[in-house]
A and B are shown apart, each in its own frame.
Chain A
Amino acid sequence: MRNLTHGIMAVLLLGCSSLLFAQSKYEYGPDSQPQEGVPQGEVTQYRWEKSKIFPGTQRDYWIYVPAQYDKSKPTSVMIFNDGGGYVRDNGHSRAPIVFDNLIAQGKMPVTIGIFINPGIIPAEQEGGKPRRNRSFEYDSLGDLYARFLIEELLPEIKKSYNLTESAEGRAICGLSSGGICAFTAAWERPDYFSKVVSYIGSFTNIRGGHVYPAVIRKTERKPIRVFLQEGSSDLDNLFGNWPLANEQMAAALKFAGYDYQFVMGTEGHSGRHGGTILPEILEWLWRDHPETLNANK
């Protein structure tokens, strides 16, 4: 047994060591570390199995509630796709820690974080593999995922928390397919989401998302703010070339006059760079929110 567990550990280490221990020039700053005296929010895990928009799906989600949350005040909200990776204190982004620090500093409003994993549709009978729904939910163009949030999950969360009713107070973030998903949600429902963050976004032809740069150029500008992070060593495969696709996105956003930021680093298909700059991203994203402006008067 001991040998077996050693073996498992060795395999895990081999599989992950390149990412775990590789020298990265992207290091976590103080806003990504717990700071003494900064109030810590609470993270609670939930499960959602009642979707009608994605029938049969099961998924975990987490809600981060900042220590400053006041249930009498409509509160800003930020959605994280592939939420499990963002919510962990040892994950690529350490989002709850970053939220704690930035909210305490008045660099972002008091914001409830909602970290949602993609769904799976389990088999009914023994021995069956689940239908993994991540690509369908995240890579598909159209309003299905936005509707899943707006019509199903957020109303459930609103039963317990006082979430804002304004698009100005709603942001959505993701990486890879979760990145294009964040953009798609806001693109389809700019009345609902005004802020988008994408790390290493898959604006490639997984399910047709490569068309966005062309579509953005020919569509009347929508009231959304977009942060794009990408790495020059990112994927080049059958779906497309990630660095080029993100360059195209940035050029199209510029052409169409969007409020956007584009950061090209050197990492591959990893959340590391985006994760380490999450404090700066959030500060830029929320810079003119009334609560942020008030705090910095």
Chain B
Amino acid sequence: MMKKCLFLLLICGGFCLPVDAQDLPISQIMIDGEGWELLSEGHQFTEGPAVNHKGEVFFTDVPTSEIFKIALDGKVTLFSEQANQTAGLIFGADGKLYGTSIGGKAIVQFDNAGKPTAITEGVNCNDLVVLADGDVFFTDHVDGKIWHVSPDGKLKEVAAGIAFPNGVIAWPDQRQLVVSDMKGASLWNFVIAADGSLKHQQPYSTMQLPVGSTESGADGMTVDSIGRLYVCTTLGVQVFDTQGRLSGILSKPQRAFLSNVTFGGPEMNYLYATSKDKVYRRKLKTTGVRFTR
């Protein structure tokens, strides 16, 4: 019987085209009548939206070193005033909030009172991702490098030579890393080895550029549960499918710099966006992922 099945598979393999012909247009994730909704304003430069286990979203105002929390009811409260120009934020599988402190040149972990403790110091950092097993990867746009901090705190350079590595995220399976190049058109993919080193660097996706520009303006990224990649760029949120092909571009919430996005809300189906002085969200027909086991 199994042989027969294999035979059928072979026949189908001959006639059916690869599933690659299938496409994921952004119309599949957009909901009629659901656009960007303003959640918070009056800030200077918002960044680093990060979702906790409840679906609450934290964000930073980089110049003021403040971190705010958006509750599930939409209420915005101050979480920390000691962020020392933290730009990137993400919750680890341990439930702790991690950040990249530009002012402190450190990767930090915040306690429940909003007090940061450095886990790595003396680094140029921009954005970060924390995987379920505690591996931290962060971008260093000053030197064009990617760094890894192992769960036991060892710092190691794992990639170099990218013009302006800005956003960093992992695939939902946490086995491949993606880095956005703000000064170029490429999204760089890497295979993550067990020791945290990165292999097989590839410009897997090409972003659409504004007419007349060679720079994507790419910044923060997030992924959804089927593996779509969402990238903040000058042109809007560029959405890529699981083969690295551009699916489409969601409009920016306002005519201003778009720094970062993350999925949040109790059902993880709202895309939260930080853009200069404001924070927005919009409901989508998909759900985000947390890097848990």
Stretch at the interface among B148-156, B240-248, B253-261: B240-248
Given the known interface contacts A125-B192, A132-B243, the answer about A88 and B2 at a Cβ–Cβ threshold of 8 Å is: no
- B173 contacts A129, CB within 8 Å? yes
- A56 contacts B15, CB within 8 Å? no
**Chain A's nearest CB lies how many Å from the CB of B99?**
26
Given the known interface contacts A124-B191, A207-B206, A237-B25, the answer about A16 and B200 at a Cβ–Cβ threshold of 8 Å is: no
Complex formed: what's the CA distance from A211 to B201 in Å?
Answer: 27
Q: Is A41 part of the binding interface, using a Cβ–Cβ cutoff of 8 Å?
A: no
User: In which size bucket is the chain A interface?
Assistant: 35 or more
Q: Mark A1-45, 1 if CB is under 8 A from B, else 0.
A: 110011011001101100110000000000000000000000000
Stretch at the interface among B4-12, B42-50, B70-78, B267-275: B4-12
**Chain A's nearest CB lies how many Å from the CB of B270?**
24
Residue of A nearest to B200 (CB): A56
Number of residue pairs A-B, CB distance < 8 angstroms: 138
- A131 contacts B189, CB within 8 Å? yes
Given the known interface contacts A2-B1, A207-B245, the answer about A56 and B191 at a Cβ–Cβ threshold of 8 Å is: yes
Q: Is B202 part of the binding interface, using a Cβ–Cβ cutoff of 8 Å?
A: yes
Residue of A nearest to B227 (CB): A129
A90-146 interface with B by 8 A CB criterion:
90-92, 121-125, 127-129, 131-136, 139-140
User: In which size bucket is the chain B interface?
Assistant: 35 or more
**Chain B's nearest CB lies how many Å from the CB of A265?**
15
**Chain B's nearest CB lies how many Å from the CB of A227?**
19
Partner of A8, one of B5, B23, B173, B193: B5
Partner of A121, one of B5, B8, B21, B191: B191
- A20 contacts B11, CB within 8 Å? yes
Given the known interface contacts A176-B17, A238-B248, the answer about A90 and B11 at a Cβ–Cβ threshold of 8 Å is: yes
B1-51 interface with A by 8 A CB criterion:
1-2, 4-5, 8-18, 20-21, 23, 25-26
- B17 contacts A269, CB within 8 Å? yes
- B175 contacts A15, CB within 8 Å? no
Partner of B20, one of A8, A91, A134: A134
Q: Is B263 part of the binding interface, using a Cβ–Cβ cutoff of 8 Å?
A: no
- A131 contacts B21, CB within 8 Å? no
Complex formed: what's the CA distance from A239 to B4 in Å?
Answer: 37
Given the known interface contacts A131-B191, A135-B243, the answer about A88 and B25 at a Cβ–Cβ threshold of 8 Å is: no
Interface centre among A122, A123, A270 (most CB of B within 10 A): A123
Residue of A nearest to B14 (CB): A91
**Chain B's nearest CB lies how many Å from the CB of A270?**
6
- A128 contacts B244, CB within 8 Å? no
**Chain A's nearest CB lies how many Å from the CB of B14?**
4
Complex formed: what's the CA distance from A271 to B17 in Å?
Answer: 8
Q: Is A235 part of the binding interface, using a Cβ–Cβ cutoff of 8 Å?
A: yes
Partner of B194, one of A56, A82, A125, A133: A125
**Chain B's nearest CB lies how many Å from the CB of A27?**
14
Partner of A135, one of B20, B171, B173, B194: B20
Complex formed: what's the CA distance from A124 to B5 in Å?
Answer: 30
Complex formed: what's the CA distance from A54 to B202 in Å?
Answer: 8
Q: For residue B1, which residues in chain A have a CB less than 8 angstroms away from its CB? A: 1-2, 5-6
Q: For residue B193, which residues in chain A have a CB less than 8 angstroms away from its CB? A: 124-125
Q: Is A85 part of the binding interface, using a Cβ–Cβ cutoff of 8 Å?
A: yes
- B171 contacts A129, CB within 8 Å? yes
Q: For residue B20, which residues in chain A have a CB less than 8 angstroms away from its CB? A: 132, 134-135, 176-177
Apart from the given pairs A5-B4, A125-B175, 14 other A-B contacts in the complex at a CB distance below 8 Å: A9-B4, A16-B16, A20-B11, A55-B200, A121-B200, A125-B192, A128-B174, A129-B173, A131-B200, A134-B20, A136-B204, A140-B206, A207-B206, A238-B23
Residues of B within 8 A of A (CB): 1-2, 4-5, 8-18, 20-21, 23, 25-26, 171, 173-176, 189, 191-194, 199-202, 204, 206, 227, 242-248
